[in-house]
Amino acid sequence: MREPMRVAPIELGDRSYEVVIGAGALALLHGRAQLVVPGRRALVVADAGLPDRVVTLAEDALRSAGFGLATRRLAPSEEDKSLETVRSLLEDAARARLDRHDVVLGLGGGIVGDVAGFVAASYRRGVHVIQAPTTLLAMVDASVGGKTGVNLRVGERLLKNMVGAFWQPRMVLADVATLESLPPRHLRCGLAECLKHGLIARTALGDAGADLFGWTAEVGPGIASGDLTHATELVARHVEVKAAVVRADEREEDAGRVSRAILNLGHTFAHVLEGLGDVSPDGDAASAPLAHGEAVALGLVAATAMSGAMGEMAGAEIAEVRGAVGSVGLPVSVEGLPRAEDLAERMRDDKKVVGGTLRVIAPRGIGRAAVVVDPPESAVLEGWRAIGAG
Ligand SMILES: NC(=O)c1ccc[n+]([C@@H]2O[C@H](COP(=O)([O-])OP(=O)(O)OC[C@H]3O[C@@H](n4cnc5c(N)ncnc54)[C@H](O)[C@@H]3O)[C@@H](O)[C@H]2O)c1
């Protein structure tokens, strides 16, 4: 991992910040935290899956910069990405006497980052948050752009990210050296979001995004096998896509040239798949349920097939997407799905349903995507069948 550090600016007026990407970025907490945070107390919300040395590195960097610390380790699960967890962290913040000038550090994957961000957005009506993502998915996606929140359980249903706030971090430190301990399954999940960015990169960046899908497909298999030679460049190029979309439509108001909703490409399908607890990526019951990134991968294949059925994707492009997803070891179809008609019905629970009308993000060739309101039922069914639904 000899790549130089990269800095990506997120330009949002007085909420602007930098994403620092590279091996060793976490140690920069020492020099940079006091520049972006006026207070001197920090609540560190650290992922329980991280090696102790990573948590200690962050704690030492903050301590040597003069911060008093309280640390809470959190075992991430979608079930515990909840208001109960937020409540207990708010109590930790109060116990540690954080005031409005102080900071919450989210050190971990997307779950820890989303929860830590929401705690920061809520405590005393908002304190600072620094995000230090440690999964590939959180580096390229969840840590950037200010969406924070938790899930809501209503009876049998776990409604994903149903409660939350837009709350931009003061800084993001994506230390790619932390990926060395990330299990391969989660490296693959991050690559699913990278392929998604590749599929929207022209819409987000214009011609500069033209080769992103192809390049990601090229380096993806190496990353999936744990070779992190190109990790900094990968994260930097994908943060650029996220940054451009967030800059164009920070709060998903859908008013400008680019809608933030396009970041949800594949997700309307994926959210349904995530609700199916017994489906596994490889047919082995032990690996059920699907992880978020695996569901997104299947969602990309389904959305691409849907677009094909609507005449918006050529056969070769559909095959290219399926090939790229499969070549990084992500599932392109799964066993044990309910009937396509049942799955299509469940899509209507999604947050993207507005006024009873389904809105799905559809690729328009490789690199471009658009919000499709009320897509033809037959095309949606075609999408579900492409990933194995009967
Ligand atoms: N806010 C946003 O814009 C946004 C965008 C995309 C996804 N998300 C959310 O992100 C979540 C998924 O995030 P995720 O994929 O990072 O999953 P995750 O947070 O569940 O982390 C995956 C696993 O990796 C472990 N882990 C984390 N870093 C590690 C490391 N360096 N070494 C070893 N193990 C490590 C964790 O303990 C966990 O078991 C979902 O809840 C999703 O809704 C949010």
What confidence score (pLDDT) does residue 357 get? 87
Residue 106 neighbours by CB distance under 10 Å: 34
Q: Residue 158: what pLDDT? A: 82
Contacts of 151-157 with CB under 8 Å at 24 or more apart are 151/78, 151/79, 151/81, 151/82, 152/82, 152/83, 153/79, 153/82, 157/275, 157/349
140, two tokens: 């390229």
Which residues contact residue 313 at a Cβ distance below 8 angstroms, ignoring those fewer than 6 apart?
304, 307, 363, 364, 365
**Which residues, other chains included, contact 155 with Cβ-Cβ below 8 Å and sequence gap of 6+?**
none
- What percentage of the chain reaches a pLDDT higher than 70? 98
In the predicted structure, residue 352 carries a pLDDT above the cut 60: no
CB–CB of 177/53 below 8 Å? no
Q: What is the DSSP letter of 43?
A: E
Which residues are paired to 369 by β-bridges? Answer: 363
Taking the centre of ligand 1 as the mean of its atom positions, its distance from the CA of residue 379, in whole angstroms, is: 31
**pLDDT value of residue 255:** 67
Quick check: CB of 82 below 6 Å from ligand 1?
no
Measured distance CA(39)–CA(57) in Å, rounded? 20
Tell me what pLDDT residue 157 has. Answer: 81
Q: What is the pLDDT of residues 46-93, one digit of tens each?
A: 999 999 999 999 999 999 999 999 999 999 998 999 999 999 999 999
In this prediction, residue 199 carries a pLDDT of 98
Angstrom distances, CA of residue 85 to CA of 150, 250, 338, 365: 9, 27, 32, 41
Output the pLDDT for position 350.
Answer: 60
pLDDT greater at residue 166 or residue 258: 166
**Ligand 1 atom showing the smallest separation from residue 144 Cα:** 3
Under 8 Å between Cβ of 29 and 42: no
CA distances from 35 to 62, 65, 116 (A): 12, 10, 20
Mean pLDDT calculated for residue range 187-213: 97
CA distances from 275 to 45, 63, 225, 349 (A): 27, 41, 28, 11
pLDDT of 106: 98
Question: What is the average pLDDT value for the chain, to the nearest integer?
Answer: 95
φ, ψ at 173 (rounded to 5°): -115, 105
Q: Cα of 357 to ligand 1 centre, how many Å?
A: 30
Q: Which of 352, 356, 342 has the alpha carbon at shortest distance from 372? A: 352
Q: Which of 52, 57, 135 to mutate to test the pocket of ligand 1 (most atoms within 8 A of CB)?
A: 135
Q: What percent of the chain has pLDDT over 90?
A: 91
Residues 239 and 140: beta-carbon distance below 8 Å:
yes
Burial grade of 306 (CB within 10 A; 0-12, 13-18, 19 or more): buried
- Spacing, Cα 110 to ligand 1 middle (Å): 3
Which ligand 1 atom sits closest to the C-alpha of 54?
A: 31
**Mean of the pLDDT values across residues 196-222?**
97
Structure tokens at 255: 């008013």
3-state secondary structure of 328: coil
Query: What confidence score (pLDDT) does residue 348 get?
Result: 81
Report how far apart the first and last C-alpha atoms of the chain are (Å, whole number): 45
> Closest residue (by CA) to atom 36 of ligand 1?
49
Q: Which two tokens stand for residue 281?
A: 């990526």
Q: How far is the CA of 134 from the centre of ligand 1 (A)?
A: 8
115-155 confidence digits (pLDDT tens): 999 999 999 999 999 999 999 999 999 999 999 999 999 99
User: What is the DSSP secondary structure assignment for residue 361, as one 8-state letter?
Assistant: E
pLDDT of 113 > 70? The answer is yes
Helix pair angle (231-248, 212-224), 10° resolution: 140
How far from 234 is each of 42, 140, 237, CA to CA, in Å?
30, 8, 5
Q: What is the pLDDT of residues 288-307, one digit of tens each?
A: 999 999 999 999 999 999 99
**What does each C-alpha distance from 342 to 105, 288, 330 come to in angstroms?**
41, 20, 24
